[in-house]
Structure 1
Amino acid sequence: MDSKVAEWRKLLQTLRGAGIEPYPHAFQVSHPIKTLGELRRQALLDAWLGLRIRTAGRATDIRRHPNVVFIDLYEDGTRFQAMVDPKEPLLEHIWRGDYVGVEGIIVKTQRGDYAVKAEGLYLLSKAVQSLPEWGKADRESPFYMRHRAVAMILDPTLRWRIYTRARLIQAFREAMWRRGFVEIPTPVLQPIYGGAAARPFITKIWAIDEEWYLRISPELYLKRYIIAGFPKVFEIGPQFRNEDIDALHNPEFWSLEAYQAYADYNDMMKLMEETTYEALTSVLGTPIVKYGDTTINFSPGWRRITLTDALREYGGFDPDKATDDQLKDKLKELQVPLKTYSRGLALVKLFEKLAEKHLIQPTFVVDYPEESTPLCKPHRAKPGLVERFEAFAGGHEIANAYTELNDPVKQYEFFKREEELFPKDEAHPLDYDFVEDLSFGMPPTGGIGIGIDRLAMIVTGAESIKDVIPFPIVARRALPEDVEK
């Protein structure tokens, strides 16, 4: 790294020795590149010919001709070119990646395109490393994963996916506010992690000499708002689970969680269908997306199927007739690990292995075994089951929802059952404070968590959530030594 910095220092000294400041403090822009690109798209620039403007952007291409030099200026996914006199002294110090300011008039080129004819050219920020060739980024390279800011410049598809994810977040947020939900924050640092079965990240709060946790879910705190009298609450933000890193998992991910008083899991299905449809239509202009070789339609009216029926249809066996020994043999045959056997959890694991991948069109899988979660209300008509659903699309889970448990005695008992059934690192921790808060009364409530990253992955046709997360986690040891230097 020292040798690189020495090269950069020498370059900057050369510029300053020539009277060129490589990092001026500001530049007054009258017409951003984005605005000029939009006017060109709408065929409105003819009326602007001869108008004097000031604009700026990153130089992504420089084309030198005997009588003119064209510089493509790039900003926020939009390109606009500047025409510069080849005799302009500053040109010899500008390369791809530099931020450049231009002052001049809008003209039409011989090829019918538009440009700013530069009367003033300004170096606004020197890229001491020139950009790699445009469009040549290797999506699997350590450089691509480590230097995501550069990857977003070089790879328009990556940039579009990340931008689409951001717009989806905003569209969901607006859809929730329209329905009277209030977005309200919950603690990221928590004394007891809860709301999911996951391994947490542990930290130390030195001021009180205690170990606390990064949240794995905002669920128990959002429920406290329901207890406090907020009838509709939600939060969109990051969760942290110290677990897998693969095409569907990143230790830091984003979700939307929402809770509604006097509602149940049927209401949450309606909320999921409607808000997803509205968000996709707002962002993409259509609820129909291409994912791999399949077309997925997110219009309301999603299929509903019970977990046991899904196993019958896709698993090739009848879960109601299978014995425990048969289920254990099936788990062993499919190499599905289950540290602590229970019939309900075995059925959930077999569903995940055998059925999930077949659920391409949006589908609600409903009525799970009661062992699958300690936070869900028992089914009102089916003993041994809970009123829970998971939503699937593209063969992946995208949401999880319950008719929420609001009986404090049952909640305490379910937490204790978890402690007895599972090893310490798998059991849902017993949160005494939450149980006591629940004892003061929580109305009937429906709750849902939607995986923003997975949904964004599906609707943008990405193969991995790394393709929609701006800065996914990558092991530093996986990087070659020369990248580190």
Structure 2
Amino acid sequence: MAVRQSLEKVEEWRKIVNSLREAGVEPYPHSFRITHSVRALNELRRQALLEPWVGLVIRTAGRVTDIRRHPNVVFIDLYEDGARFQVMADPRHSLLDYIWRGDYIGVEGVIVKTQRGDYAVRASSLVLLAKAVQPLPEWGKVDRDSPFYMRYRSVAMVLDLQLRWRIAARAKFIQALREAMWKRGFIEIPTPVLQPIYGGAAARPFTTKIWAIDEEWYLRISPELYLKRYIIAGFPKVFEVGPQFRNEDIDALHNPEFWSLEAYQAYADYNDMMKLTEEVVYEAVSAVLGTGVVKYRDQTINFSPPWRRITLHDALREYGGVDPDRLTDDQIKEKLRELQVPVKVYNRGIALVKLFEKLVEKKLVEPTFVLDYPEESTPLCKPHREKRGLVERFEAFVGGHEVANAYTELNDPVRQYEYFVREEELFPKEEAHPLDWDFVEELSFGMPPTGGVGIGIDRLAMVITNAESIKDVIPYPIVKRA
């Protein structure tokens, strides 16, 4: 049925294209030279700088988003790069019989001032540049919950200026993060996307087959273990911005493909990573919005450093109403049952983290570092230098969402091996970090004291653009095919 429907559609498109060519109109010419973009003209109008341009001949091009026909004039709205500008055409122009909403056209004409005091290009010639054989839906009329909105994402970005702005803001945020890191002496350096052993996080990977060597490999879930190899190699400050892949949830806060910034610094610890995180995020937010203060839902969030610091135990006491130092294991288990938090294998440290996630996370609206996690929470972190049973780890929270994770990195190869083994004993296979023996061996050649941090780009972009879901900031989120 799907093949038949597609063939019927293609045949409809063929008729449209052939009819244009029979009428002497080429629907897909090779190029069109412009002198002024729609965005440039719109910006000049916005700044009230177009008056001296009246009478000037220009060439511009864009997508037709609206056509308004009157007896003596036809108004055409051209859209390009998030901006619009008006074109005035003679109703007798032959091309007007062949264009509709969604087509790309080129225009040559003079800048004029309309009777209403606005500006337009009065067209002396019109050229069809690309025929939209499927007319564009009505401008601004889009249902964000519809399958159409998710399936035809490029069209959604045309119709929904807010979506387009969010996508562009995310891109600028990534650029600003990169600039903030380079400014501090970090170099961006690549790590493999395909890896023989996935690691750096507890997550289910995507699996693939490398046919040339007949081996099962994985899409990376984190660049951590390879970035640490660069530290071993003598690069003192490294980072990477790019996609990670986790074969897990799809919801308002999760997408199987997501972007992060991950960074490692020799001779540093998690205190240095806190300072780095709050500074570069603040600088990037300010670069995008012109301010470090944002509106998110019904809250005002100030990204200005320093961010609040609180231990996980204190956060449980202050926000969760439980004292982890006084709770017995039986009381913790009962609390988890009460909160309907499933636990496959009970471990006190992990159970406390789950209580924190359920009772505290959503209450951390202002940027907050939560410090000093139970040692069972990760096999890649150094034990706390003062607090037995804890590790020097923090997570950062903004708007009730976790947006960063950092460690004073473990650089003892014996402990690293033991922690990997402990993980495999404590957790089911799909929840444990696999033993990466190659990494342990490389660690045995010596890695200096190191601080590392991973920053979630999509969730931060969601907060700073006041989006309901990360689907609103990811250009092409994963959705179930019809």
- Give the alignment's TM-score, normalised by structure 1: 0.98
Distance 2:162 2:434 in 1: 41
1:178-224 Cα distance to aligned partner (Å, 9 max, x none)? 00110000000000000000000000000000000000000000000
In the other structure, the counterpart of 1:73 is 78
Shift of 1:41: 1.6
In the other structure, the counterpart of 2:193 is 188
Shift of 1:382: 0.4
Shift of 1:339: 1.1
Distance 2:303 2:283 in 1: 10
Letter in 1 for 2:387: K
Shift of 1:3: 1.4
2:177 aligned with 1:177? no
Distance 1:145 1:278 in 2: 32
Give aligned pairs, total. Answer: 477
Of residues 51, 62, 67, the one that matches 1:62 is 67
2:221 aligned with 1:216? yes
2:310 aligned with 1:325? no
Letter in 2 for 1:274: E
Query: SS where residue 251 of structure 2 aligns?
Result: coil
Query: SS where residue 120 of structure 2 aligns?
Result: strand
Shift of 1:34: 1.2
In the other structure, the counterpart of 2:55 is 50
1:32-76 Cα distance to aligned partner (Å, 9 max, x none)? 111111111221111111111110000001111111111111111
In the other structure, the counterpart of 2:292 is 287
Of residues 221, 246, 256, the one that matches 1:241 is 246
Letter in 2 for 1:306: T
CA RMSD of superposed structures (Å): 0.7
Of residues 462, 465, 472, the one that matches 1:460 is 465
Of residues 225, 235, 247, the one that matches 2:230 is 225
Distance 2:52 2:419 in 1: 70
Distance 1:454 1:153 in 2: 23
Distance 1:444 1:199 in 2: 29
Shift of 1:137: 0.5
Distance 2:173 2:30 in 1: 34
Specify every segment of 5 or more residues in structure 1 that has no aligned partner in the other structure, as ranges.
Answer: 480-485
Distance 1:247 1:86 in 2: 48
Shift of 1:373: 0.2
In the other structure, the counterpart of 2:434 is 429
Query: SS where residue 377 of structure 1 aligns?
Result: coil
In the other structure, the counterpart of 1:10 is 15
1:234-292 Cα distance to aligned partner (Å, 9 max, x none)? 00000000000011000000000000111111111101111111101111001111111
- Give the alignment's TM-score, normalised by structure 2: 0.98
1:381-437 Cα distance to aligned partner (Å, 9 max, x none)? 001000000000110000000000011111011001001111111110000010011
Distance 2:57 2:448 in 1: 63
Distance 1:47 1:409 in 2: 74
1:163-188 Cα distance to aligned partner (Å, 9 max, x none)? 10011000001000100110000000
Distance 2:47 2:149 in 1: 34
In the other structure, the counterpart of 1:110 is 115
Distance 2:53 2:444 in 1: 68
Distance 2:12 2:138 in 1: 21
Shift of 1:317: 1.3
What are the within-5 Å matches in structure 2 for residues 148-167 of structure 1? 148-167=153-172
Query: SS where residue 431 of structure 2 aligns?
Result: coil
Letter in 2 for 1:81: Q
Distance 1:295 1:222 in 2: 35
2:455 aligned with 1:450? yes
In the other structure, the counterpart of 1:89 is 94
What are the within-5 Å matches in structure 2 for residues 342-421 of structure 1? 342-421=347-426
